[in-house]
Every structure is written in structure tokens, then in C-alpha cells.
Amino acid sequence: MGKGEQTRDAILEQALTLASQVGLEGLTIGRLAGALDLSKSGLFAHFRSKEALQVQTLERAAARFEEVVVRPALGAARGEPRLRALFENWLRWPRIVPQPGGCIFVAASVELDDRPGPARDRLVRLQRDWLDVLAGAVRIAIQEGHFHRKVDPDQFAFELYGIMLVCHHASRLLRDPAAPERARRGFEALLARARAARA
């Protein structure tokens, strides 16, 4: 890894941390440079546009997400255990990959939902992929006989992500320490329903 690549790496890591707090738009080149003891122009040269910086920050976040949320869960047994692992890893991930402002994808989702452009496009793809990962795990759980055949994997993923979002909301905005526990209760109810498959 050359010197430039190394610097770029440090920049993106810091960008990830910063963007979690102030968003992708609030992520300012000057502030980012200041935090890294770099000049604005020196930092800017690595990307050549703010948009590129934003996209690459998302890319970096996605890589880390894969690394600390998705991949480790593949070590868990197929089906419900893997789904549990995905859920628990998601709860942890804003602390493991330091995001003092909470999950960057949640922040970016709200920020970019009305701003067309490459960053938005990339984010949409990433969020779809994440929902697909969840739905895929559900599908496997059905195959394994953990869940009832009538369970709709996409619907399950939808509702599960809802629990994650409200957990984020309750713990970050409302500073409710009970949020993860509430989320777990919701998750367990979702699992119970999938086993029985009343709906």
C-alpha cells in the first residue's frame, strides 16, 4: 500500500466517523482536513469532488458493514441462528466501526431520499442488498424447517428492518437505554410468528 493509498484510507475512516455525526452533506472537506491535520487542497486532491468523497465514504462503510455484520454471521448455523447473528451484529456495529452519530446508512437514507445523484443511487443499492441478505436468511430458515413455509421473506425483512430503525431512533434521539432490549423483544415476537406462521 503506497503512501497515497494509506492516506486515503485514513481519510475515509475518519470520514465515516464524521459523517455518522453530521451526515454526508455536513461532512465538510475543511473539517475533515482539520481532523486529520491535512490541508483542504491536499485532501481534496484525493477525490477531486465532494460527490466522489461521499460515494467512496459510502463504499467504505459498506465494506466495513460486510466485514463486521454480514460475514461473521455466515459463521452461524444456517437458518434462525444466522438470522439472530445478523440482528445482534447490526445492533453492535455502530460501536465496532466507530460511528458516534449512529449508523451512517440510517442517516444517509433520510438525507439522500430526495437528492438524486450517484450517492443516492449507491445507497439505494446497498440498502436493497441488505434487505436481500435478511430475506435470504429467512428463506434459508424456511428451508431448514425453522420457519413455516407460508412466511414471506421480504415481508419479514421489511418488518425486521423496522425494528432496527425504531431501535436506532429510540436510542439515538430519545436516548432510551431500553431500546436494544425492546428491539430484541420485537425480534423474538417476529421469530415466534414465523415459526407459527399465522400471517
Partner DNA sequence: GACAGGAACGAACGGTCGTGCTTATTTAGC
Partner DNA sequence: GCTAAATAAGCACGACCGTTCGTTCCTGTC
d(CA 147, CA 151): 7
AA letter at 54: Q
Binding residues for DNA restricted to 46-85, rule: CB under 7 A: 46, 48-51
Residue pair 145/78 in contact by the 8 Å Cβ criterion: no
The region of 35-43, 56-64, 88-96, 165-173 touching a copy of itself under the rule CB under 8 A is 165-173
C-alpha triplet 131, 116, 64: angle, nearest 5°: 40
Whole-angstrom distance between the N-terminal and C-terminal Cα of the chain? Answer: 52
The region of 41-49, 66-74, 93-101, 108-116 touching DNA under the rule CB under 7 A is 41-49
Please name the residue ranges forming H helices in 27-101: 29-35, 40-45, 50-65, 71-73, 80-96
Residue 47 or residue 90: which is nearer to DNA going by CB? 47
Binding residues for DNA restricted to 11-30, rule: CB under 7 A: 27-30
- 113 is an interface residue for a copy of itself by CB under 8 A: yes
Cβ neighbours for 50, distance < 8 A, ≥ 6 positions apart:
29
Contact with a copy of itself (CB under 8 A): which of 7, 13, 21, 46?
Answer: 21
Contact with a copy of itself (CB under 8 A): which of 128, 143, 145, 150?
Answer: 128
Q: What H or E segment, with its residue span, contains residue 126?
A: helix 118-143
Residue pair 193/178 in contact by the 8 Å Cβ criterion: no
C-alpha cell at 193: 410468528
Binding residues for a copy of itself restricted to 75-104, rule: CB under 8 A: 100-102
Selection from DNA, a copy of itself, none that 123 binds (CB < 5 to 8 A by kind) is: a copy of itself
Contact with a copy of itself (CB under 8 A): which of 72, 136, 180, 186?
Answer: 186
Selection from a copy of itself, DNA, none that 39 binds (CB < 5 to 8 A by kind) is: DNA
Residue 33 or residue 135: which is nearer to DNA going by CB? 33
Residue pair 111/25 in contact by the 8 Å Cβ criterion: yes
CA atoms within 13 A on the CB side of 64: 23
Point out which residues bind a copy of itself (CB under 8 A). Answer: 21-23, 25-26, 100-102, 106-107, 109-114, 120, 123-124, 127-128, 154-155, 158-159, 161-167, 169-170, 172-174, 182, 185-186, 188-189, 192-193, 198-199
- Residues of this chain that bind DNA (CB under 7 A): 2-5, 7-8, 27-31, 33, 37-46, 48-51
